[in-house]
Amino acid sequence: MLALDAPTWLKDCISRFSLSYHQGKLLARYVTGLIASGNKTIAGISSVFMKQGMRAMNRLMTEYPWDTSKINMERLEELQKHNETRWSKNGILIIDDTILEKSGKHIPYVGKFYDHSEGRYVNGHCIVSMHYSDHKTNYAIDYRLYVKKGNEEFKTKIELAKELVEQYRFIPAQTVM
C-alpha cells in the first residue's frame, strides 16, 4: 500500500465544482488512484491510499448525490476561461456512437452491439457522444447512453443525437457532423 495524496493542482481543480467537502476529497483520491494504480477497480484504487479505504470510495460512487449535468456545465464553463480550450465559431461539433466493450454480462444496460471497427458483435455499452474540435483543441461535450428496444428508456441513436444538438445549440460552432 502506497501513502499517496492527491496532487495540489488536482485538488484545486476539483474545488471549482459544486461538490461537498467529502465528495471533493474522495474524487481527488479517485482520480489520483486511476492514474497511480495498475488495478482500476475500487479496491485497486483504494489500495494506493492509507487514510481512506475501499468503503469510503464505494460510498463516493454509489451513495453520494451527484448532479452530473451541473458538474458537466461547470466543467464546460471552466474550459471557456482558457484561450486554448475556448469555443470558436470555426469549431465543429462531432456526434459519434461508440461501444465501450464490457466483459461482464450482468452490468446494467450492457448489450450485444455490432462493432464496425472490429467486424463482430461485442458485449458493451453503446454511447452517443458529442465532441468539440477546432485547430487548437478537442474534447468531449456530453454523451447519452443508448439502450436497446424493449427498455422503457429506449430512444434511437438519432433521437439521442438530436437531444445533444438541442441542449448544446448555444456552442458557437460552425458545423455539426
Local structure of residue 14 (DSSP, 8 states): H
pLDDT for 52:
57
pLDDT tens for each residue of 41-58 = 777 777 766 555 677 778
Measure Cα distances from 129 to 16, 48, 100, 132, 176 in Å.
Answer: 24, 32, 12, 10, 12
C-alpha cell at 9: 493542482
Give φ, ψ of 56 to 5 degrees: -65, -40
pLDDT for 55:
79
Q: DSSP per residue over 151-170, as a string?
A: STT---HHHHHHHHHHHTTT
pLDDT for 126:
95
pLDDT for 168:
96
Beta bridge partners of 177: none
Q: DSSP per residue over 99-128, as a string?
A: EEE-S-SSSTT-EEEEETTTTEEEEEEEEE
Positions of the chain with pLDDT lower than 70, given as ranges: 1-4, 48-53
pLDDT for 162:
97
Q: How far apart are CA 11 and CA 25, in angstroms?
A: 7
Q: Taking the model in full, what pTM does it have?
A: 0.78
pLDDT for 29:
81
pLDDT for 67:
86
Local structure of residue 49 (DSSP, 8 states): -
